Structure 1
Amino acid sequence: MAAASAAPFTFNGAVGSRVKETKTLISEVCRQFYHLGWESGTGGSITIKVHDDSIPKPHQLIVMPPSGVQKERMMEEDMHVLSPDGFLLSESSPKSWPNKPPKCSDYGPLFLKAECYRYLFDAAIKLYQLGLNRSTPSHGPIRSPNAVLGRHRNAKVSAKAGTRSPNNGTEPSRRCIVLDIEGTTTPISFVTDVLFPYARDSVGKHLELTYDTAETQDDIKLLRAQVEEDLENGVAGAVSIPTDGEKEEIIATVVTNVEAMIKADRKITSLKQLQGHIWRTGFQGNELETVVFNDVPEALEKWHSLGIKVYIYSSGSRLAQRLLFGNTNYGDLRKYLCGFFDTTVGNKKETKSYIEITESLGVDNPSEILFVTDVYQEATAAKAAGLEVIISIRPGNGPLPDNHGFRTITSFSEI
């Protein structure tokens, strides 16, 4: 797509009204698709041309949603408006810190050629009418549509779960599974003995090499704000990060704070964001490879085939989570995952965090979500929010209280 124009384009009169209607339509469709389970989290996208019978379709304006915004939370002001040839006329409104507008959908180039793919959409509709989707077991050649429809003539289609159940049956109550990482999908030792030391040992070098980038400056700004709060609260190891000091001084104080935070195993966004950026370098350079328990890939594949949506909730940043599951000893497992939650939704030991996740996933009842963790306090918080909870017992995990009252497993094969 072309670069944005120097000044925002203003839409007035009938054109402005149609643009507004299209923006509203996209935000509503995104919410509906999300709650139907047809889109997940920030995945997927919808783009619509501004309808005007007086203008040929190839010359109609295009309204495109932003990238990285939860589907169920999209608003009219989040939309981008493009010219027919992909020139950005009006961008999304800036969000709260870091006060930057979300970028245009990564699917933009595809949508600009969407007319070429219209037949795929028609085919998808026909497959849905036949009761077939990506989770349908291998069915062989279809000789007659009636042969397919006949088997399910008395069946009820559930758009919510993407499953089919007889009239006298019930849908599976579990629609989503939310997984912790450390001690659940991945050995604690990998995090404590590999990831944390790598970040600690590399932070100075990383800051030195990337200091002048906007990303690293944002990282330092976020850490500075956290340190100021820590100093007010008397947190041990906190050292003030100067705002206008020399580069070497700023880097040195950041390193001191990061080392103290890692040693204390702080679960804070500022640390996790920087760690994610450092780990990205390690994964890209093949210096790091995530270890997952051997039962994890098979379970993820099974749940995926059953149409159960799987999400990750970790104190690590969403970037770090994507890196971890994209570079495992079993290959890239992200194809089985629908989304990632981090501490931006809240602390993992607080009930309100799981309420926020429940609202984001769009389930009718919190009990439709299974949360698997190795931490008793997280399990308690999730249970208080109404989620089904299982505690993972893995080698190296910490002890649980006596009579904790939760179901436990030693392998995902037990779920």
Structure 2
Amino acid sequence: MQITHMEMIKGIQGHGYYDELVVPIIENTAHERELTESLSEAMAAYPKATAVLVRNHGIYVWGDSWINAKTQAECYHYLFDAALKLHQLGIDYSSPGHGPVNSPSSFQSKNKHLSSGLANGVHAPDPSRHCIVLDIEGTTTPITFVTDVLFPYARDNVRKHLSSTYDSDETKDDIKLLRAQVEEDLKQGLFGSVPIPPDDALKEKVIDSLVDNVESMIKSDRKITSLKQLQGHIWRTGFEHKELQGVVYDDVPEALKKWHESGIKVYIYSSGSREAQRLLFANTPYGDLRKYLSGFFDTTVGNKRESHSYSEISLSVGVDKPSQILFVTDVYQEAVAAKAAGLDVLISVRPGNAVLPENHGFKTIRSFAEI
């Protein structure tokens, strides 16, 4: 990314307002440790850069102290937002001498209706609604798609997936997580849990025990990271082979587009793994909807029915106060937890959703068009 004549460039180490800031962008990987090679190549190719952006993940920033790195991170956040808004307006932000903008002053004169916004005329979103966090099941997507399509697909293909990928690092990591979860379940005497043989046991015996545990977890609709991570990897194969297609309500794409164009960031928080979430929104009849989403949260941030999970999300999305986040869910207990953390909450009432308690005290919607 190249950008110049933007106020916050002055906050980047060694740069001034008139300098051209260049930031390399690399592709994301399945695991953070796999970024090492491409990060090293980017740093070598751009020795003057103090940051590398990882697409759909975040930015790695460094400086000669924690304070400098933190300051630069805040400046980069501003600059990327500003660059995105200028791009949406059809303005060339990479060079002051090209495109419709010849200087900051000419930008202001040609775009007077934006001149009261941020530096260089970028319009600031309504501070009362900094971002929106959406649940998936019963909110963006029918519950039946998960229960009648995704869950059966994972259950029917778990043995095939484990057998074909058994020696891969990814599956070894999945098995490690499942083993730890099952050991905890056995200690608690959880029905349906069976011991998993050690790694040096016969492959078939290990897979048999894994299949038994996974089938029991799916049947009980367990909201646990080990199951969701494996399911995500199984579903990935289904999407790649065109055996699965993501489903969203008809009002969702237009709302996501509207919020995105208004500068409101939208995040997903679901018990399904982040990979599974990305797969669903990348493969819909309306095309790839990830372009309207700013990030994904799963149970690694915490249980969806515990208020501290929403406090963690508030810290991650960079709002001044939790009330600047609107959380939309179909689950009453999640709404209670989010409200306890200070978030603004709406409950989604869609066909097939669970009946809400009487006098639940929350505002409800039947379509995103109502937000």
Q: TM-score, normalised by structure 2?
A: 0.75
1:261 equivalenced with 2:217 (yes/no): yes
The residue number in structure 1 matching 2:201 is: 245
Report if the CA contact (8 A) 1:49-1:62 is conserved: no
SS in 1 for 2:118: strand
How do 1:11-410 residues align onto structure 2 when only pairs under 5 Å count? 60=47, 65=52, 67=54, 71=58, 133-136=86-89, 145=107, 147-148=109-110, 150-153=112-115, 155-157=116-118, 163-164=123-124, 171-243=126-198, 244-410=200-366
Structure 2 CA distance for partners of 1:137 and 1:389, relative to 1, 3 Å: farther
In the superposition, relative to structure 1, how do residues 162 and 194 fare at CA in structure 2: closer, same or farther (>3 Å)?
farther
**1:291 Cα deviation from its structure 2 partner:** 1.2
Q: Whose helix fraction is larger, Structure 1's or Structure 2's? A: 2
Residue pair 1:48, 1:62 contacting (<8 A) in 2 also: no
Tell whether the 8 Å contact from 2:268 to 2:297 is kept in structure 1 after alignment: yes
Rounded to whole Å, the distance in 2 between the matches of 1:71 and 1:386 is 25
Contact 2:245-2:284 at 8 Å conserved across structures:
yes
Which deviations, in whole Å up to 9, do the C-alpha atoms of 1:109-134 show, x marking residues without a partner?
xxxxxxxxxxxxxxxx8x969x9624
Read off the aligned partner of 1:355 and give its amino acid letter.
S
Q: Deviations over 1:40-66 (max 9, x none)?
A: xx99x999999xxxxxx9895876648
The answer to whether the Cα contact below 8 Å between 1:162 and 1:307 also exists between their aligned partners in 2 is: no
Contact 1:48 1:63 in 2 (8 A): no
Partner of 1:360: helix, strand, or coil? helix
Give the partner amino acid of 1:157.
Answer: L
* Aligned-partner residue type, residue 219 of structure 1: D
Dislocated runs of 4+, deviation >6 Å: 45-50, 72-77, 140-143
CA distance in 2, matches of 1:282, 1:58: 37
Shift of 1:70: 6.5
Residues of 2 paired with 1:322 and 1:59: CA distance? Answer: 30
Question: Do the aligned partners of 2:151 and 2:218 also contact (CA within 8 Å) in 1?
Answer: yes
Does the CA contact (< 8 Å) of 1:135 and 1:304 recur in 2? no
Would the aligned equivalents of 2:82 and 2:122 in 1 still touch at CA under 8 Å? no
> Once the two structures are superposed, what CA deviation does each residue of 1:270-310 show, in whole Å capped at 9, x if it has no partner?
00000000000000000000111000000000001101000
Post-superposition Cα deviations, 1:128-147, rounded to whole Å, max 9, x if no partner, equal 69x96245499x97795453
**1:245: how far off?**
1.2
In structure 1, C-alpha distance between the alignment counterparts of 2:109 and 2:331, rounded to whole Å:
50
Q: Alpha carbons of 1:329 and 1:145: their partners in 2 closer, same or farther (altered >3 Å)?
A: closer
Residues 367 and 252 (structure 1), Cα distance of their counterparts in 2 relative to 1, 3 Å cut: same
Letter in 2 for 1:322: R
Q: 1:72 to 1:381 in 2, by over 3 A?
A: farther
How many percent identity over aligned positions?
60
Aligned residues between the structures:
315
Q: C-alpha separation between the residues in 2 aligned to 1:337 and 1:232?
A: 40
- Separation in structure 2 between the aligned mates of residue 66 and residue 247 of structure 1, nearest angstrom: 40
Post-superposition shift, 1:156?
A: 4.3
CA RMSD of aligned residues (A): 3.8
> Contact 1:230 / 1:238 at 8 angstroms: preserved in 2?
yes
Name the CA distance, whole Å, in 2 between partners of 1:280 and 1:375: 26
Contact 1:289 1:327 in 2 (8 A): yes
Read off the aligned partner of 2:139 and give its amino acid letter. Answer: T
- The TM-score with structure 1 as length reference comes to 0.68
Counterpart residue identity of residue 195, structure 1 = L
Q: Conserved in 1, the CA contact under 8 Å of 2:108 and 2:114? A: no
Cα distance in 1 between the residues matched to 2:175 and 2:328? 33
Per-residue CA shift, 1:235-263, capped at 9, x if unaligned?
Answer: 11111111121000000000000000000
Which AA in structure 2 matches 1:296?
A: V
Distance 1:69 1:151 in 2: 31
Amino acid at match of 1:148: K
- Deviations, residues 327-366 of structure 1 (Å, cap 9, x unaligned): 1122111110010000000000000000000000010010
Q: Flag structure 1 segments of 5+ consecutive residues without an equivalent.
A: 1-24, 27-38, 51-56, 78-124, 166-170
